[in-house]
Chain A
Amino acid sequence: MLNMSEYGLISGIISIGLALGCYVLATVLARLARRQTVMAGAGAGGGTIAIGQRGASNLAAYGTLLVYLGLVFISASLVFRTIASGRGPFANMYEFSVAFAWGILVVYASFERRYKQRALGLVALPIALALLLYAMTIPSAIDPLVPALQNNLLLSAHVAVAIVAYGTFSISFAAAILHLIQGENGRRSLPSRELLDEISYKAVVIGFPFLTLTIALGAVWADLAWGTYWSWDPKETASLVTWLIYGSYLHARVIRGWRGKRATWFLVLGFGATLFTYFGNLFFGGLHSYSGLS
Chain B
Amino acid sequence: MTRTMRTQTNAQAHREPTDDLGGLATSFADIGARLWHLFISMRTGLALMLGLAALGLIGTLLAQADPALQGDRQAYAAWLESVRPRYGGWTGVLDALGLFTIFSSIWFRGIIVLLATSVLACSANRAPHLWRLAVHPRTNVGESFFAHAPLSASIASPTDPDVALAEVRAAFRARHFRTIVSRDGDTLHLYADRFRWGPFGTVIAHLSLILILAGALIGTAWGFRNNGLAVPVGSRVEVGYGTGLSIEAKSFTDSYYTNGSPSDFTSDLVLYRDGAQVAAQTIRVNEPLRAGDVSVYQSFYGAAAVMKVADPTGMVVFDRGVPLEWTSRDGKHRVGQFILPDAGLTAYVIGVASGEVDPQIKPGQMRIEVYASGSEGSLIASESVSQGRPTKIAGLDFTFVRERQFTGLIVARDPGAVLVWIGASLLVFGISLVFLFPSRRAWALIRRRPNGSSIQIGAIVRHEITFQSDFKRLVDEVELALTGPSGA
Contacts and interface: CB of A to CB of B under 8 A. Distances in A.
Interface stretch (B42-50, B92-100, B132-140): B42-50
Interface residues of A, number: 49
Contacts of A230: 216
Given A227-B295, A244-B50, A238 B263 contact: no
Contact of A208 (B52, B431, B465, B466): B431
A235 to B, nearest CB: 8
Given A144-B257, A150-B285, A247 B49 contact: yes
Interface in A124-182: 143-144, 146-148, 150-151
A205 B198 CA distance: 14
A260 to B, nearest CB: 13
Interface string A207-232: 01100110010011001111111101
B49 A251 contact: yes
Interface string A198-209: 100110011011
A198 B462 CA distance: 11
B56 A229 contact: no
A254 B288 contact: no
Contacts of A256: 3-4, 7
Given A225-B285, A228-B225, A251-B45, A238 B60 contact: yes
Given A144-B261, A146-B262, A205-B435, A224 B288 contact: yes
A226 B428 contact: no
A65 interface: no
A227 B225 contact: yes
Interface string B418-444: 001100110110011001000000000
- By secondary structure, the A interface counts as helix
A227 B53 contact: no
A109 interface: no
B438 to A, nearest CB: 9
A254 B435 contact: no
A10 B205 CA distance: 43
A273 B46 CA distance: 17
A227 B297 contact: yes
A58 interface: no
A251 B42 CA distance: 7
B261 A143 contact: yes
A66 interface: no
B286 interface: yes
Contacts of B103: 232
B417 A198 contact: no
B428 A209 contact: yes
A194 B264 CA distance: 54
A227 B285 CA distance: 10
Given A227-B288, A232-B59, A147 B427 contact: no
Contacts of A227: 225, 227, 288, 295, 297, 299, 410, 412
A147 B42 contact: no
Contacts of A144: 257, 259, 261, 263
Contacts of B284: 147
A280 interface: yes
Contacts of A238: 56-57, 60
Contacts of A254: 3, 42
A208 B216 CA distance: 23
A201 B427 contact: no
Interface residues of B, number: 53
B286 A147 contact: yes
A3 B21 CA distance: 87
A68 to B, nearest CB: 23
A245 interface: yes
Contacts of B410: 226-227
A198 B467 CA distance: 11
Interface in B287-307: 287-288, 295, 297-299
Nearest to A240: B56
A241 interface: yes
A144 B261 CA distance: 8
Contacts of B91: none
Contacts of A220: 421
A143 B259 contact: yes
Contacts of A241: 53, 56-57, 60
B464 interface: yes
Nearest to B254: A147
A248 B435 contact: no
Interface string B393-423: 0000000000000000010101001001100
A240 B424 CA distance: 13
A229 B427 contact: no
Given A147-B284, A238-B56, A245-B53, A212 B431 contact: yes
B235 interface: no
A228 B412 contact: yes
A213 B3 contact: no
Contact of A147 (B53, B56, B262, B428): B262
A21 interface: no
Given A228-B412, A255-B43, 17 more contacts: A143-B261, A147-B262, A198-B466, A201-B463, A202-B464, A212-B431, A219-B424, A223-B417, A226-B299, A226-B410, A227-B297, A241-B60, A244-B49, A244-B50, A245-B53, A253-B463, A255-B46
Interface of A: 143-144, 146-148, 150-151, 194-195, 198, 201-202, 205-206, 208-209, 212-213, 216, 219-220, 223-230, 232, 234, 237-238, 240-241, 244-245, 247-248, 251-256, 273, 276, 280, 284
12 contacts: A146-B262, A150-B285, A201-B463, A202-B464, A205-B435, A208-B435, A219-B420, A225-B285, A241-B60, A244-B50, A244-B56, A280-B60
